[in-house]
Chain A
Amino acid sequence: MAAQTKSHESMSSRWAEFRLIPRIESDPWTVSFAQTTLGKAAMLAAFGGGILVMMRDPLAWLALMLGLTLITFMPARRRLILAVAPILLVVLQTFWKPLLLGLNLAVIALGIFLYWCTMRWPKSRFGQRPVAFLLGGFSALILLACAAAPQSLPYSILWDLVGLMASYIWFIAYAVSDRNSQPARDLTLELASFHPVWGFTNTPFPKGAAYLRRIEAQNPEQLAIVQLKGLKLLAWTILLAVFQFFWFRFFHGYLHIPTSTEALTLSVHGTPVAWHLRWESLILAFFELILSISIMGHRIIAGCRMAGFNALRNTYRPLSSTTIAEFFNRFYYYFKELLVDLFFYPVFLRYWKGHRRLRLAFATFAAAFFGNAFYHFTRDWQMIRDHGIWVAIQDFRAYLCYCAILAAGLCVSQLRKRGPMPTGFVRGRLVPAMGVCLFYCLLNVFDSGVQGYPLISHFRYLASLFFIHF
């Protein structure tokens, strides 16, 4: 009996130790090899080949690999290389459009200027609330662009500026909110963090320059370890991408299960798919979203690690989350961090200090509702340009509802008294994790990727999942 238990424990321990991709960064020989010229070249070749299949823009690939090669062989010049590379890329991509190039460089210069202002005058009104001023200014710019006569030169310039600001706004917001960090000795990492060479979405990966300074490799051994972790993450990303390919082929190609967008569209047009297909499409959409966010985030963080910054993953075991707040943290870490750093903390530290629960709820709504809605509304600025601000707001109602439900869920999740965790896998992990997955599955009804359907259509679709028709 004792032997059986021992053997079972040994199997569990071996299973826990099992890794699909081995921990090469903890192997001394591999770490030493990665510091040699041959090792560095091999790592770069493997990374370059791997990431080539994931990047569609050859110029961006070339810029990334050129930057990584220079960083790997000249780590002392890392910051300078990272600062120059994105500006060089902007010039190469837009040199035949002088106006766009000029506006692009002006936006970068504005970001640096605002950062300098917050450091120079930290006690000024702007220095105290830089993000509020920045977002207020951006909103004013959008309203100004809406007021310009269509097809005129000011219209064209203003909307070009709105588009550029939309893609830089959160990078600049991080820069100005870094005012409480250790003052920078130079501005190279500030420049590097505006559209970093390893890739970005509207969300800065991984946050701003102050964070980059904290996670930067400080010696050749640390650089080798971080780069090996980057290479490993890229390998995992490729495996996920292959899995995603077969997933789509199997569920949507072979089994013909509609996507959640298709199912919602058919429902809105009065030809709903069968009840079980609605559920299946919703569940699939939930997993597909996790897969696509994982692949996107891992690819960018892998590049960031190759550049010598030991950034945390963007997505980390989201399905193991046992609370709504934990899932939000594990699913899209850098977007959550953006909301926390730029909306949650500024509100939490200033308002309702005497009311602990109200304070937490108010700050959570500021981040998950207001911040989230503002981020997505301005990200889709083309909607505002093409349809006008009122139509854009009307089309945005479903997502506003999404933000409100998410914020309420996060509030409940954070405010609920944490009692002792139920023991056992089923009660302690499986049941709570399934509850969390169900919440986010149903929430996705309001984030179907289609804008413009009346809010009532989303509620009807949600109700129809439970046999309620109205």
Chain B
Amino acid sequence: MKGIAEIHDFVQSLLTRIGDDGPLANQDSLLVSGRLQSIDAVEIVVFLEENFAIDFAEIGFDREQIDSINAIYALTQGAGNRN
């Protein structure tokens, strides 16, 4: 099971790719704040599907679930509990 550090690294790599080198805290808003866009949210979805076997079609999808590193981590912990 990957931890919060891996999620942080992944999100940081997305931000770096779009030229956002600003500081990134685990509670920072990613999508509502506009730092990441819909296409980046797609990358997060695929990352979660591939690494944590999360099926959003089954559990339902809302961007708030992946709006911060903490939220993503909480989601992965929920997925872990379900599995």
Contact = CB atoms under 8 A, between A and B. Distances in A.
Interface centre among B42, B45, B49, B64 (most CB of A within 10 A): B42
Given A182-B64, A210-B62, A337 B38 contact: yes
B45 A214 contact: no
Nearest to B46: A356
Interface stretch (A88-96, A99-107, A343-351): A343-351
Contacts of A312: 34
B61 A214 contact: no
B32 interface: yes
Interface in B14-39: 17, 19, 32, 34, 37-39
User: Binding site of A, secondary structure by majority: helix, strand, loop or mixed?
Assistant: helix
B48 to A, nearest CB: 11
Contact of B45 (A122, A215, A337, A348): A348
Interface string A268-294: 000000000000000000000000000
A336 interface: yes
A14 interface: no
Nearest to A326: B37
Nearest to A122: B60
A349 B62 contact: no
B1 interface: no
Contacts of A122: 60
A290 B65 CA distance: 33
A329 B62 CA distance: 19
Nearest to A316: B34
Contacts, number: 40
The bracket for how many chain B residues form the interface is 10 to 19
A211 to B, nearest CB: 8
Given A345-B61, A353-B49, A214 B38 contact: no
Nearest to A178: B62
A56 interface: no
Interface residues of A, number: 27
Interface string A177-221: 011111000000000000000000000000000110011000000
A414 interface: yes
A329 B57 contact: no
A157 interface: no
A417 interface: no
A125 interface: no
Given A336-B38, A349-B56, A350-B57, A181 B32 contact: no
Given A180-B62, A181-B62, A312-B34, 15 more contacts: A178-B62, A180-B65, A182-B64, A210-B62, A210-B64, A211-B32, A214-B67, A336-B38, A337-B38, A340-B38, A349-B45, A349-B61, A414-B39, A418-B17, A421-B19
Interface of B: 17, 19, 32, 34, 37-39, 42, 45-46, 49, 56-57, 60-62, 64-65, 67
16 contacts: A179-B60, A180-B60, A180-B65, A182-B64, A211-B32, A214-B32, A215-B32, A329-B39, A336-B38, A337-B38, A340-B38, A349-B45, A349-B57, A353-B49, A360-B42, A414-B39
Closest 3 CB pairs of A and B: A180-B60, A180-B62, A340-B38
